[in-house]
Structure 1
Amino acid sequence: MNRLIQSLTAAAALSCLGMFSVGQAKAEPAVAQTDRSHYQGKWLEIGRTPMWLTDGCVAGFTVYTPGNAPNQVMVQDGCREGTPQGKLKTIEGIGTLTDSKTTKAKLRVRYPLLITFNYWVLYNSPDRSWFISSDPDMKNLWIYARNVPSKNQLARMVSKAKELGYDTSKLEFPKF
């Protein structure tokens, strides 16, 4: 757990450096329309952009539960070390829907030590069984599903991420 918190702290510090980049600003990605039911229950992390803070993490997941305020969501992120039967690692945060009156697709999560990440839902599948999320600058992307997908379903998910403009060759797909 300490390693995970240290990793998140370092990642947050490094992400702050990105605020000072020089050059043309990249357009923000369009977000999907979603609703409060999206932020309930367990989602499996099917694909993700590799980050050193998730090195060795497999069988990743996020559990959402209602918070104390209408625009608040409690977030628990977790994974297993090395194998799907490995040691469980989790971290909890408090999420705030920053667009709660419109799309409900932008979630800012504050983790311990004032570490903050922004997660934007870019796409919801028509049956709401999976979605694609990104940070606002599309450096990091995640594919989540309620269940482990078949190979054909996974191919559709990856194709959709590519259609949204993400370089899918960067994605990794941890074991379940």
Structure 2
Amino acid sequence: MVLLGFAVLGSVAVAAPANKPQTVSQVELNRYLGTWYEIARFPMYFQRKCASDVTATYGLQANGNVSVLNQCRKADGETMASQGEAKAVDRTNSKLKVSFLPDGLRWIPFTKGDYWIIKLDDNYQTALVGAPNRNYLWILSRTPTLDEQTYQQYVEAARQQGFDTSKLMRTSHTR
């Protein structure tokens, strides 16, 4: 879910295609929580300063929502972070809405980004996350690296869901 924070601003006024991607049937939020490393992503304005070490850390809040902490390292070595909150859209927990606005402004309509979990392995080690308009896509892993075969399986899953995988750029991790 890394990138929930970075994705919010860009998802405001973009129309989704008629045939939306399919999400996984169920996500156990407690198993999804924790830190995820970004392995690859579509280039986007919100992450333009992220040079490496992109992570998202999720935690369960008392109200049942998910805290989101997105972090990355800029080219000068400085760490950049964004704190947000995600809320499941339905009982499957595979579609979430996320906001990185300050708490008092999160009620404003059209300020939440879509975070759809499209593919997730049974052990909650690798995830494919995108948006219904297909403008955003991330491959995430519990580790900073992912073997090439698994990476290609997730790229193919995205391609089958209608994402233009030629836009994927890999993320470097230095630690």
What interval of TM-score do these two structures reach, taking the shorter chain for normalisation?
0.7 to 0.9
Q: Flag the structure with higher helix content.
A: 1
> Which secondary structure state, in structure 2, belongs to the residue aligned with residue 112 of structure 1?
coil
How many residues are paired up? 159
Instruction: Tell me what 1:111 maps to.
Output: 100
Partner of 2:18: 26
Alpha-carbon offset, residue 8 of structure 1: 5.9
Compared with structure 1, are the counterparts of its residues 151 and 125 closer, same or farther at alpha carbon in structure 2 (3 Å cutoff)? Answer: same
Higher relative contact order (CA 8 A, sep 6+): 2
**Which residue number corresponds to residue 161 of structure 1?**
158
Q: CA RMSD in A?
A: 2.3
Contact 1:39 1:66 in 2 (8 A): no
Match of 1:80 in 2: 73
* Cα-to-partner distance string for 1:25-69 (whole Å, 9 max, x where unaligned): 522211102111243110001111101221231211110001122
Of 36, 47, 57, the residue aligned with 2:40 is 47
**1:1-176 to 2 correspondence within 5 Å?**
12=9, 15-19=11-15, 25-32=17-24, 33-57=26-50, 58-70=52-64, 72-82=65-75, 86-99=77-90, 101=91, 103-112=92-101, 114=106, 115-147=111-143, 148-176=145-173
Deviations 1:63-85 (A, max 9, x none): 00011223x100101111027xx
Distance in 2 of aligned mates of 1:127 and 1:41 = 13
Unaligned runs of 5+ in 1: 1-6
SS in 1 for 2:155: helix
TM-score, scaled to structure 2: 0.80
- 3-state SS of 1:47 partner: strand
Q: Could you tell me whether the CA contact under 8 Å between 1:49 and 1:141 is conserved in 2?
A: yes
User: Which protein is bigger by CA-based radius of gyration?
Assistant: 1
The answer as to whether partners of 1:120 and 1:136 remain within 8 angstroms in 2 is yes
